[in-house]
Structure 1
Amino acid sequence: MKNIRLLLACTLITLLSCKNEPNKKMDISDPVPEEKEEKDEVKITPIEHASMILSMGDFVLYIDPTGEKKDYQGHQAPTHILITDIHGDHFDMKMIKYIFAEGVKIIAPKAVADQLPEKIHPNTIMMENGDEKKIDGLLVEAIPMYNTRKEALEYHPKGRGNGYVVSWEEERIYISGDTEDIPEMRNLKGITKAFVCMNLPYTMPVSTAADAVLDFEPEVVYPYHYRGDDGYADVRKFANIIKTNRPNTKVELLTWYKDEPKKKKME
């Protein structure tokens, strides 16, 4: 009898304790969710033709800023301004004076730096083809840009202007400037984003630009600077060549001209 009473008491205690347990089954085999750190991304804002804004982390790069003041209103102020060449679609003195502020650094070839106002000289970093400089945490490489066709040699002689490769975190961003499919472009390595020009008679045709891209294999390529004397280059043709021959390279078609017909998104 004593044993029966003891058994009943134990059973009652067990039932009462079970009421206090949450009605939820835990599976210790389920992994604890890890907190994923958001990776900073590069934000690309086309302005027009060769002009763009690249925002990445604390850096805001204005590339060849030209155009009208209203095109830049509402955007973050630049931390750095990169200029590729002396021509008016790349170098606009009025725009430089408008957007320049204390602390902003200008990266430019000598032909451009020589034309900047004296008060801007302390903020100017002159780079020649082949130079590589660490600037405020950015690695900047000056890549040659020039014409090779006899009929176009007068436009962009070798050594005057710079293309650029800007390295930030895991990104290596190539900005071609005005060039043809030169060996220095074809031999680029590890490019994550590439902005490649294609307009005649000043740079190169679509087929040549595509062939160069097939050589250096960027992760993503953005056709830009593609309005020439005969209108807009066929960037859809460019995209199809890349898609057919190098499907691992993604082509992004952005809107670079206000009066350009809208392009259908690549599939």
Structure 2
Amino acid sequence: MKKNTLQLLSVILALFFTGTVASNAQETKKDSFETSGGTLTIHHVGHASLWFEINNKIIHVDPFGQMGDYTSMPKADLILITHEHGDHLDAGTIELISKENTQIFINQAGFDALKKGKVLKNGDETESMGWKISAVPAYNIVHMRDDGTPYHPEGRGNGYVIEFGDTRVYVAGDTENIPEMNNLGNIDIAFLPMNLPYTMNPAMCKEAALMVKPTVLFPYHYKMGETDTEKFAQLMEEVDEIEVRFRQ
């Protein structure tokens, strides 16, 4: 009896600690901001995946199943897809987090692949749940494929500016420091990508930050060990008006 009891206790403890580790592994870092439209909480999943929570409404951006356990995350009222690449448009995860009335805003090439959603092209503006959403350019100027074509051609993919009351959030998508960033207007919170060769290096990301001028900047879409985040932090030390937060 004692041996069996000890074996049972060992199994229970193993399951407990395994479950605890698994649960903790799925926790996402988050930041909260007070806006005129309510408290905005940003959940950082990883890579280019994140989601916003405000007034019991959920907006997922580029949900990618390899970045987290989406079965443990809330279903979406709105999904924003920046472009059609597989690490941004994951059809299985989109289906998993969708409800009957979930809206999807997507670029044309993404719509052609997914076969659903509302197409937004660069310059389009729309509204969802009272929040204004603008599709803005996202493309490469410098980094090209071997055949000379850009990884992200101009006019194909989107970045998004979401207005939560008086707080404007810019999710840049896969882009470099393009001149259109000068025309975004006041930005309070920005997500700028920093992974080569597809988007920006630290120096380019700094140039983009100086154009966008957010109050809070989240570098995202980078790989630890491959992107020199320390260099970017050093470059931004002299820019007192922008607070840089690393969350990946």
TM-score normalised to structure 1 length: 0.74
Count, aligned residues: 211
Deviations 1:163-217 (A, max 9, x none): 0000011210000100000011233221010000011111111111111211221
Q: Which residue is equivalent to 1:264? A: none
Aligned counterparts of 1:188 and 1:211: Cα–Cα separation in 2: 15
Shift of 1:77: 1.6
Shift of 1:237: 2.1
Shift of 1:59: 2.4
2:46–2:68 CA contact under 8 A, matched in 1? no
Aligned counterparts of 1:48 and 1:54: Cα–Cα separation in 2: 14
- Which one of the candidate residues 140, 145, 155 is aligned to 2:138? 145
Aligned counterparts of 1:148 and 1:157: Cα–Cα separation in 2: 8
2:214 is the counterpart of 1:221: no
Q: Which residue is equivalent to 1:112? A: 110
Deviations 1:39-58 (A, max 9, x none): 73221111120011111223
Q: Which residue is equivalent to 1:100? A: 98
1:214–1:242 CA contact under 8 A, matched in 2? no
Aligned-pair identity (%): 38
Shift of 1:68: 4.3
Aligned counterparts of 1:135 and 1:184: Cα–Cα separation in 2: 24
Q: Which residue is equivalent to 2:125? A: 132
Report the more deviating stretch, 54-63 or 199-208.
54-63
Secondary structure at 1:102 match in 2:
strand
2:242 is the counterpart of 1:249: yes
- State the structure with more CA Rg: 1
Higher relative contact order (CA 8 A, sep 6+): 2
1:243–1:250 CA contact under 8 A, matched in 2? no
Aligned counterparts of 2:36 and 2:172: Cα–Cα separation in 1: 29
Shift of 1:247: 0.6
Secondary structure at 2:237 match in 1:
helix
AA matched with 1:184: E
2:38 is the counterpart of 1:45: no
Distance 1:243 1:40, change over 3 A: farther
Aligned positions of 1:2-21 closer than 5 A: none
Shift of 1:38: 9.6
AA matched with 1:193: I
2:66 is the counterpart of 1:72: no
Secondary structure at 1:207 match in 2:
helix
AA matched with 2:167: E
- List alignment gaps of at least 5 residues for structure 1: 1-36, 256-267
Aligned counterparts of 1:206 and 1:150: Cα–Cα separation in 2: 14
